Structure 1
Amino acid sequence: MSAIIDFLNNNGSDLLIKTWEHLYISVIAAALGVIVAVPLGILLTRFDKAASPVMAVLGMIQTIPSFAILAFFIPILGIGKIPAIIALFFYSVLPILRNTYTGVKDVNKSLLEAGRGMGMTGWERIRYVELPLSIPVIMAGIRVSTVYLIGWATLAAFIGAGGLGDFIFSGLNLYQTEFIIAGAIPVTILALIVDLILGKLEFKVTPKSMRDKEKTA
């Protein structure tokens, strides 16, 4: 305990900086994943034949070890935060894409027909029918992806991107447990906090009729 207290006294400011770096890398990568995966997931519902190949390719990327992905971008983009964010972005896409595709495909077809009958355009059906009804499934994918990214972002320290992984790698190299704890515990806390925030956001954006239905189920 005294070693941890001494560590905090000597490295408290660095801990705050690295926590911010870790959160920044994770959130930017997750945001890029949402920007790409949600529209792509909706698009794939219109082209079913393309869905399986796209999912298969992304699934293959998911199986590549994180270190390999990070190392792959070093000759192209060098070291630092940008290659780390891009590498994590690739890992963020599949869960969000799969949930978006599944959520939109499962929307009741009679509701879509009703939208057409009311004169809604394709974009209006997406905005006012498909997205609101599929948002709980989409948000579940975003939550899973973001929590995973916070854990994987520790590896960003391997290519000089900073973050809490710096403490973990230093602790492993120096055989100092307090460094490992100072990196691992904040990562866990960050993941829990972000998951809680996204859970609250999911509740807010879920249509009230769906929330009421879940309560009575």
Structure 2
Amino acid sequence: MSAFGEAMVYLNDPFNWTRRDGILELLGEHLTISAVAVLAAFVIAFPIAVALGTSGRGGGAVVVVSNVSRAVPTLALLTLFAVSPIGFGNRATTIALAVFAIPPILANTYVGVRGVDADVREAARGMGMSSGEVTRRVDLPLALPLIMTGLRTATVQVVATASLAALVGGGGLGRLVRLGFGQQDYGLIIAGALLIAVLAVLTELLLVLLSWVATPGPKRFPWTSAKRPVLAASAEPTASGVPL
């Protein structure tokens, strides 16, 4: 049997899903690590990006921070954490993934808020809105598509990279891949890789749907074409007296 066939046999065995340290338990750990990392990154990056975007300053700093953060490999951070008080395990992985998720959230939120038309802000202030109300009711709704894009990018990257937790004694679906390499079981390696890939794709689709629902304005599915108005038939009478 091929390695892919062995992977299908492994995934179709209910015992591999429900046993202790099985797929469902590892999936829960994987999602927990990813969710905590993205939430921590959002709590750090979002208010900074909104403050800099509304003030119109700090664009260079945002670019520098984003580029530097992207240049640092997650595995390198995990190696540094291993010789620090942070140590091994899920905590180290969560911190490293949070650092990894900050750049797309920071950059997209800043660009979205900074790109709001100044005339729209002035009109909102002319209606008596305070600075906080302008940010909440004007800037953030208009910047929401870019904010959601940054959040989606960060989340998918984190979900796909959280498998590194297995290299530092953590949990998650990466443990299946590590175990497969340790046992030279290529079917188990493929099964773990497939689960991680499917989870990343499902995360992408879910966040695309959430972005579509949360974005203000008329809703239309991207694969549907806009309806063209139907022209009414002419009601002018003809020479015979019968309207067209």
Distance 2:56 2:133 in 1: 21
Tell me how far 1:11 sits from its aligned partner: 2.7
1:138-153 aligned at under 5 Å gives the runs 138-153=147-162
1:5 matched to 2:9: yes
Among 105, 119, 135, which residue is 1:110 paired with? Answer: 119
Return 5+ residue gaps in structure 2 as ranges: 227-244
CA separation in 1, counterparts of 2:150 and 2:53? 17
d(CA) in 2 for partners of 1:51 and 1:132? 21
Residues 100-136 of structure 1 deviation map (CA, whole Å, 9 limit, x = unaligned): 0111111111110001101111110110000000101
Instruction: Give the Å deviation of 1:2.
Output: 4.9
1:182 Cα deviation after fit: 2.1
User: Is 2:23 the counterpart of 1:19?
Assistant: no
2:58 match? 50
Q: Which residue of 2 aligns with 1:158?
A: 167
Q: Indicate which of 28, 31, 37 corresponds to 2:36.
A: 28
Larger fraction in helix: 1
SS in 2 for 1:95: helix
Aligned length: 214
Q: Measure, in 2, the Cα distance between the counterparts of 1:154 and 1:124.
A: 41
1:150 Cα deviation after fit = 0.9
Shifted more, 51-60 versus 4-13: the winner is: 4-13
Give the 3-state SS of the residue equivalent to 1:77 in structure 2: coil
When Rg is computed on C-alpha atoms for both structures, the one with the higher figure is 2
Residues 67-146 of structure 1: matches in 2 within 5 Å? Answer: 67-74=75-82, 75-146=84-155
Distance 1:51 1:78 in 2: 34
Match of 1:191 among 192, 200, 212: 200
Aligned to 2:236: none
Q: 1:12 to 1:82 in 2, by over 3 A?
A: same
TM-score by length of 1: 0.90
Q: Which residue type is aligned with residue 15 of structure 1?
A: I
Distance 2:59 2:141 in 1: 22
Q: Distance in 2 between matches of 1:4 and 1:117?
A: 63
Secondary structure at 1:16 match in 2: helix
Q: Equivalent of 2:47, from 39, 46, 50?
A: 39
Higher relative contact order (CA 8 A, sep 6+): 1
Give how far 1:54 is off.
3.9
Q: Which moved more, 1:123-132 or 1:15-24?
A: 15-24
- Structure 1: gaps of 5 or more residues: none
Task: Identify if the C-alpha distance between structure 1 residues 2 and 103 changes in structure 2 by more than 3 Å, giving closer, same or farther.
Answer: closer
Deviations 1:174-201 (A, max 9, x none): 2211211221111111111111111111
Q: Aligned-pair RMSD on alpha carbons?
A: 2.0
* Distance (whole Å) between structure 2 residues aligned to residue 179 and residue 66 of structure 1: 24
In structure 2, the CA distance between the partners of 1:187 and 1:135, relative to structure 1 (3 Å rule), is same
Structure 2 length-normalised TM: 0.81
CA distance in 1, matches of 2:49, 2:78: 25
Shift of 1:79: 1.6
List structure 1 runs of 4+ shifted beyond 6 angstroms. none
